[in-house]
């Protein structure tokens, strides 16, 4: 400002007041509108005894720590003359809004705040005393900011902000913001729905501080509601169910990111994912997680999944007038995979509940060292299983994997409460009657299982289950995959084992493909291997899709056969059993969906027996874990 | 300086709503006038979908609650009357001791009048007993409509406060320099037990805040 030199100190103070005023008003506005910025815990901030930062004492209004993103806006200091336009944007799904539609979701500006230091072109001569002008300005701006603070709570947008920020549910909308020094004017239609309110300006000689807002008077025409999340329940027709999209493609290992439609049973039609804006990410990863489950394709922004810290992400404020404020990085594929998985979690009965999942990723009550990776492992495994490895009756890999999944309960805190096997034993009994020839074997297994040989029997059971599964439509993994969230590898067989399946559903079964946090690196290695193999599968879960996936199955089989031994005697479970299965089954949908004949069953029995022996020998370590 | 007076819109409230409504209004006013260091505290009303801001000062809360209790007991003694609560801000001036002004003088620079019509319907009591399911259905609808109306009025009052607070700022005295939470001294007056006494209070106040020339 070019004024007389005797006013310099005053001007300096005034400029400081103005710039702080801008910052403070921005802080107030964002704090009351953008949930993501409030994610830091403020409960402790407002105690009288706590220390108040000097910067927070401005205008005698303590708001708590300023989000890191706001600090990036100190560029406002450079030119306090520019208006600061803050758009509060509602990201929602909607077709009736004329706003820009991105990725299925619509952004609508519901409030536009303009904070500005108006500097007149012609500076009126200062009348009266000038010395304490800035003091008066300061006092009045305090009042103005208080009024702003109160007003924020009286406007319609505050309600939805509260919904987002306080509720633990997830919603199908989000609030983000954009700060710039200019803005596109509203369209006629939009203007018609908005009202304007201006606060009386505060004299700040030679200019004045103004705040005004243009806001939507009603938000009822938006369809804002909690996103329907799948309640934890058993999904009997899990991956590979005939009802699922047979042409669904599972993310392959190469890309890791692809549109995948998972069976969304009981889930509402996919809701558009909230825009993955850097600053909207921090609004709570769980929210995105839930939205993910509603989407057929994995587009959710789980990038912050690994770390729930709100400010870990690229700083949001899009104060570049020309750039879109919502450039978001591509979500990490594996995380997305996890995300995709996430919605499936509840499909496993007693699976890790949503709440558990919602907890920060580091959450893992499991004592096992691999617990932090448990989540990331388990779910990817699930992904793989569901999406790729669906029905795979591979004694060899199963055997190798079964160890991995042997101790699901012990390591999985969520499953630890569930009896490992006995319930299953019991439950499988009646159902076993339904299966044809293999049932006798199954019963035998069960009798074994009912004893202490739980881990072993688990394996056998899983093996058996694999067989059983195969009989069922491949999609029947939900039951098999226990609440531990073990990936279910369904061995689809022609004969359906529905009732059996259902009973298994209730059992917390250490499925062979339980991707629990088995502590051994071997398990992980085998997991990874399986995952890799799995990733090469296309959807095999659906019997309908079987026929279309022979090639994939064959590929899998080949891969498994040629896979390096996974810590186990390679001699055991030679692929011959698989071969035999394949021979008969390749003609049909997948090698594993072959009609069961006695011969097949016997061969399977043999292979399982071998597996059992192997597992028994190795189960010592696992058992101990499981018992834990 | 002159004393700015603000008469807030009339509010029709039921007995059980008094506490919340008064708390909301009084705290909102004080929040805008307590210009010391403040940690705002958002408070949601239970009866209405309104959020107001408190200063976060326990002492102030106690004081306000006390006054509200006084008011409620007064209202119970004088049912179905239009009542008024006055929140006044004053400056403490130590005047030269004159023949009748030995004491510390108060210069009121702002006064807020909260006008309440407390309706005491028989139904009000039944609603207080939380037997909402037992209540007659048409009464329920009426109550809901009434509640919505009260909420709208309350919001209007709050807007009114904010507007008034912003429009008239010149009369606000300079903030005393001190650390911590600082308020302008204020007092809350409720009508006393008799109307005439209430009138006397008004006259007394007028004398105190009258033109300085009168007193000097």
A216-258: pLDDT as tens digits: 888 777 777 777 655 566 666 667 655 655 555 554 444 444 4
Please give the structure tokens belonging to residue B160. 């009114």
At residue A378's C-alpha, the angle toward residues A374 and A380, to 5°, is 125
Contact criterion met (CB below 8 Å) for A56 and A66: yes
Closest-CA residue to A90 (of A107, A74, A78, A72): A107
Task: Please tell me which residue, B51 or A448, carries the higher pLDDT value.
Answer: B51
Instruction: Write down the pLDDT at residue A602.
Output: 92
A178 three-state secondary structure: strand
Instruction: Identify the helix (H) or strand (E) that includes residue A23.
Output: helix A8-31
- Give the whole-number percent of chain A exceeding pLDDT 90: 4
In the predicted structure, residue B197 carries a pLDDT above the cut 80: no
Query: Tokens 């729905």, residue?
Result: A193
CA atoms lying within 13 Å on the CB side of residue A137: 25
Q: DSSP for chain B, please give it.
A: -PPEEEEPPPEEEEGGGHHHHHHHHHHHHHHHH--SSB--EEEE-SSSS-EEEE---HHHHHHHHHHHHHHHHHHHHSTT-EEEEEEEEEEEE-PPP-SS--S-EEEEEEEEEEEEEEE--HHHHHHHTT-TTTS-HHHHHHHHHHHHHHHHHHHHHHHHHHHHHHH--TTSPPPP--SS-----EEEE---SSHHHHHHHHHHHHHHHS-HHHH-
Burial class (CB in 10 A: 0-12, 13-18, 19+), A478: buried
Instruction: Write down the pLDDT at residue A235.
Output: 64
State the pairing for strand pair A105-118/A194-198.
Answer: unpaired
Long-range contacts of A4-10 (CB under 8 A, 24+ apart): A7/A130, A10/A130, A10/A131, A10/A133, A10/A134
Q: Indicate the pTM of the whole model.
A: 0.51
B43 Cα to chain A: minimum distance (Å): 10
Please give the structure tokens belonging to residue A400. 């190798």
Q: Cα separation of A272 and A300, whole Å?
A: 9
Of A201-215, A333-347, A539-553, the poorest mean pLDDT is in A333-347
In the predicted structure, residue A607 carries a pLDDT above the cut 90: yes
Which residue in A46, A146, A202 is closest to B41 by CB distance?
A: A46
| C-alpha to C-alpha distances, A89 to A14, A41, A107, A164, B174, nearest whole angstrom | 32, 23, 6, 13, 38
Q: Is the CB of B40 less than 8 angstroms away from the CB of A62? A: yes
| C-alpha to C-alpha distances, A395 to A49, A198, A557, A594, A598, nearest whole angstrom | 65, 73, 11, 15, 17
Q: Cα separation of A539 and A250, whole Å?
A: 6
Instruction: Write down the pLDDT at residue A623.
Output: 58
Find the residue in B nearest to A44 (Cα).
Answer: B39
Range from A20-29, A163-172, A180-189 that averages highest in pLDDT: A20-29
Query: Tokens 């750039």, residue?
Result: A323
Please give the structure tokens belonging to residue B210. 């009258």
Which residue in A60, A143, A162 is closest to B166 by CB distance?
A: A143
Q: Is the CB of A139 less than 8 angstroms away from the CB of B35? A: yes
Give the Cβ contact number of residue A627 at 10 Å. Answer: 13
DSSP-assigned letter for residue A291: H
Q: Is the CB of B39 less than 8 angstroms away from the CB of A48? A: yes
Contact criterion met (CB below 8 Å) for A548 and A246: yes
Closest-CA residue to A437 (of A626, A598, A206, A276): A598
Give the Cβ contact number of residue A190 at 10 Å. Answer: 18
Which chain A residues are Cβ-neighbours of B57 within 8 angstroms?
48
Instruction: Write down the pLDDT at residue A245.
Output: 57
- The alpha carbon of A455 is separated from its chain's Cα centroid by a whole number of angstroms, namely 32
Q: Cα separation of B58 and B64, whole Å?
A: 10
Find the residue in B nearest to A49 (Cα).
Answer: B180
Find the residue in B nearest to A145 (Cα).
Answer: B32
Give the Cβ contact number of residue A550 at 10 Å. Answer: 19
Instruction: Write down the pLDDT at residue A608.
Output: 92
CA atoms lying within 13 Å on the CB side of residue A248: 29
Instruction: Write down the pLDDT at residue B63.
Output: 86
Which residue in A62, A151, A199 is closest to B38 by CB distance?
A: A62
Q: Is the CB of B162 less than 8 angstroms away from the CB of A46? A: no
Q: Cα separation of A397 and A463, whole Å?
A: 10
Q: Cα separation of A512 and A393, whole Å?
A: 11
Instruction: Write down the pLDDT at residue A300.
Output: 38
Contact criterion met (CB below 8 Å) for A24 and A148: no
Please give the structure tokens belonging to residue A120. 């007149």
In the predicted structure, residue A307 carries a pLDDT above the cut 50: no
Range from A139-153, A284-298, A344-358 that averages highest in pLDDT: A139-153
Among A153, A217, A219, the strongest candidate for a mutation testing the B interface, having the largest count of B CBs within 10 A, is A153
Contact criterion met (CB below 8 Å) for A290 and A227: yes
Among A63, A142, A198, the strongest candidate for a mutation testing the B interface, having the largest count of B CBs within 10 A, is A142
Contact criterion met (CB below 8 Å) for A159 and B49: yes
B163 Cα to chain A: minimum distance (Å): 8
Closest-CA residue to A228 (of A387, A113, A343): A343
Task: Please tell me which residue, A156 or A308, carries the higher pLDDT value.
Answer: A156
Instruction: Write down the pLDDT at residue A383.
Output: 40
Q: Cα separation of A25 and A115, whole Å?
A: 8
Contact criterion met (CB below 8 Å) for A540 and A391: yes
Which residue in A52, A57, A147 is closest to B166 by CB distance?
A: A147
Q: Is the CB of B166 less than 8 angstroms away from the CB of A139? A: no
Q: Is the CB of A150 less than 8 angstroms away from the CB of B28? A: yes
Q: Could you read off the pLDDT of A190-201 as tens digits, one per residue?
A: 888 888 888 888
Which chain A residues are Cβ-neighbours of B49 within 8 angstroms?
159
Q: DSSP for A603-621, please give it.
A: HHHHHHHHHHHHHHHHHHH
Instruction: Identify the helix (H) or strand (E) that includes residue A348.
Output: none
Instruction: Write down the pLDDT at residue A95.
Output: 56
State the pairing for strand pair A194-198/A207-216.
Answer: antiparallel
Closest-CA residue to A596 (of A469, A471, A464, A443): A471
Chain A residues with CB-CB distance to B under 8 A? 45-46, 48, 52, 57, 60-63, 135, 139-140, 142-144, 146-147, 149-151, 153-154, 158-159, 162, 199-200, 202
Contact criterion met (CB below 8 Å) for A484 and A404: no
Find the residue in A nearest to B53 (Cα).
Answer: A150
Q: Could you read off the pLDDT of A530-588 as tens digits, one per residue?
A: 444 444 444 444 444 555 678 888 888 888 888 776 655 544 444 444 444 444 444 44
Query: Tokens 């010395």, residue?
Result: A131
Q: Cα separation of B54 and B24, whole Å?
A: 8
A284 Cα to chain B: minimum distance (Å): 22
Going by pLDDT thresholds of 50, 70 and 90, the confidence category of residue A78 is low
Instruction: Write down the pLDDT at residue B101.
Output: 55
Sign of the alpha-carbon dihedral angle for A347, A463, A508, A441: positive
Find the residue in A nearest to B158 (Cα).
Answer: A154
Range from A455-464, A502-511, A617-626 that averages highest in pLDDT: A617-626
Return mean pLDDT, chain A. Answer: 59
Find the residue in B nearest to A142 (Cα).
Answer: B35
In the predicted structure, residue A320 carries a pLDDT above the cut 50: no
Q: Is the CB of A61 less than 8 angstroms away from the CB of B40? A: yes
- The residues, ordered by sequence, that sit 6+ positions from A570 with a Cβ below 8 Å of its Cβ are none
Q: Cα separation of A585 and A581, whole Å?
A: 6
Q: What is the CA radius of gyration of chain B?
A: 19
Q: Cα separation of B15 and B128, whole Å?
A: 9
Taking one residue from A and the other from B, the number of pairs with CB-CB distance under 8 angstroms is 81
A579 three-state secondary structure: helix
């Amino acid at each position: 400002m070019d004024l007389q030199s005797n006013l310099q100190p005053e001007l300096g103070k005034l400029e400081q007041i103005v710039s702080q005023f801008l910052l403070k008003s921005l802080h107030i506005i964002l704090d009351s509108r953008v949930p993501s910025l409030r994610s830091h815990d403020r409960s402790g901030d407002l105690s009288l005894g706590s220390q108040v930062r000097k910067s927070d004492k401005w205008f005698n209004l303590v708001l708590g720590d300023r989000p890191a993103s706001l600090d990036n806006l100190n560029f406002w200091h450079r030119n306090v003359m520019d208006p600061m336009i803050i758009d509060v944007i509602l990201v929602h799904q909607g077709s009736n809004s004329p706003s820009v539609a991105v990725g299925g979701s619509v952004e609508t500006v519901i409030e536009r705040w303009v904070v500005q230091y108006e500097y007149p072109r012609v500076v009126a001569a200062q009348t009266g005393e000038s010395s304490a002008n800035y003091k008066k300005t300061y006092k009045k701006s305090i009042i103005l900011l208080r009024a702003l603070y109160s007003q924020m709570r009286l406007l319609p947008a505050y309600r939805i902000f509260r919904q987002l920020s306080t509720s633990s549910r997830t919603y199908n909308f989000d609030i983000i913001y954009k700060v710039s020094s200019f803005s596109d004017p509203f369209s006629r239609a939009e203007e018609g729905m908005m009202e304007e309110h201006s606060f009386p300006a505060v004299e700040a000689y030679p200019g004045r501080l103004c705040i005004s807002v243009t806001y939507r008077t009603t938000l009822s025409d938006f369809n804002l509601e909690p996103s329907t999340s799948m309640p934890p329940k058993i999904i009997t027709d899990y991956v590979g169910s005939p009802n699922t999209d047979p042409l669904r493609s599972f993310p392959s290992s190469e890309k890791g990111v692809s549109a995948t439609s998972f069976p969304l049973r009981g889930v509402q039609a996919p809701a558009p994912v909230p825009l993955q804006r850097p600053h909207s990410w921090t609004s709570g990863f769980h929210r995105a997680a839930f939205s993910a489950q509603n989407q057929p394709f994995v587009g959710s922004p789980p990038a912050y999944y690994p770390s729930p810290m709100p400010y870990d992400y690229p700083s949001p404020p899009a104060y570049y007038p020309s750039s879109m404020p919502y450039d978001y990085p591509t979500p990490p594929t594996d995380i997305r995979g996890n995300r995709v998985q996430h919605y499936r979690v509840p499909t496993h009965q007693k699976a890790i509940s949503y709440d558990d999942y919602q907890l920060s990723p580091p959450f893992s009550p499991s004592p096992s060292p691999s617990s932090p990776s448990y989540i990331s492992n388990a779910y990817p495994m699930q992904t793989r299983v569901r999406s790729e490895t669906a029905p795979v009756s591979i004694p060899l890999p199963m055997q190798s994997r079964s160890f991995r999944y042997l101790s699901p309960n012990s390591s999985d805190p969520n499953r630890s409460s569930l009896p490992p096997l006995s319930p299953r034993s019991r439950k499988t009994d009646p159902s076993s009657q339904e299966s044809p020839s293999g049932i006798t074997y199954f019963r035998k297994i069960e009798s074994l299982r009912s004893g202490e040989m739980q881990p072993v029997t688990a394996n056998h059971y899983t093996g058996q289950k694999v067989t059983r599964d195969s009989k069922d439509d491949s999609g029947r993994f939900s039951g098999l995959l226990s609440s531990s969230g073990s990936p279910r590898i369904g061995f689809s067989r022609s004969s359906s084992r529905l009732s059996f399946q259902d009973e298994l559903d209730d059992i917390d079964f250490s499925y062979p493909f339980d991707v629990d946090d088995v502590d051994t690196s071997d398990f992980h290695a085998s997991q990874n291997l399986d995952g890799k193999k799995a990733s090469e599968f296309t959807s095999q879960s659906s019997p309908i899709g079987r026929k279309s996936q022979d090639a994939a199955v064959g590929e899998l089989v080949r891969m498994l056969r040629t896979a390096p031994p996974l810590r186990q005697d390679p001699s055991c479970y030679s692929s011959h059993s698989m071969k035999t299965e394949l021979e008969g089954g390749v003609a049909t949908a997948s090698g594993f969906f072959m009609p069961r004949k006695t011969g097949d069953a016997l061969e399977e029995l043999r292979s399982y027996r071998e597996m059992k022996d192997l597992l028994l020998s190795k189960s010592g370590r696992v058992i101990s874990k499981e018992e834990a | 300086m002159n004393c700015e007076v603000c008469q807030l819109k009339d509010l029709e409230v039921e007995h059980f709503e008094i506490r919340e409504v008064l708390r909301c209004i009084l705290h909102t006013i004080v929040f805008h006038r307590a210009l010391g260091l403040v940690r705002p505290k958002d408070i949601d009303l239970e009866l209405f979908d309104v959020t107001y801001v408190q200063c976060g000062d326990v002492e102030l809360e106690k004081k306000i609650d006390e006054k509200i209790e006084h008011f409620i007991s007064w209202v119970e003694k004088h049912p179905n009357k239009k009542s008024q609560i006055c929140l006044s801000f004053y400056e403490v001036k130590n005047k030269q001791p004159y023949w009748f002004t030995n004491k510390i003088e108060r210069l009121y620079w702002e006064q807020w009048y909260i006008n309440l019509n407390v309706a005491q319907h028989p139904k009000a009591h039944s609603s207080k007993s939380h037997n909402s399911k037992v209540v007659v259905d048409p009464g329920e609808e009426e109550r809901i409509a009434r509640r919505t109306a009260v909420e709208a009025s309350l919001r209007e009052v709050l807007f009114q406060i904010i507007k008034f607070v912003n429009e008239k700022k010149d009369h606000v005295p300079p903030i005393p320099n001190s650390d911590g939470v600082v308020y302008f001294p204020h007092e809350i007056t409720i009508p006393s037990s008799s109307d005439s006494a209430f009138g006397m209070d008004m006259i007394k106040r007028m004398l105190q805040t009258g033109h300085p020339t009168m007193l000097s």
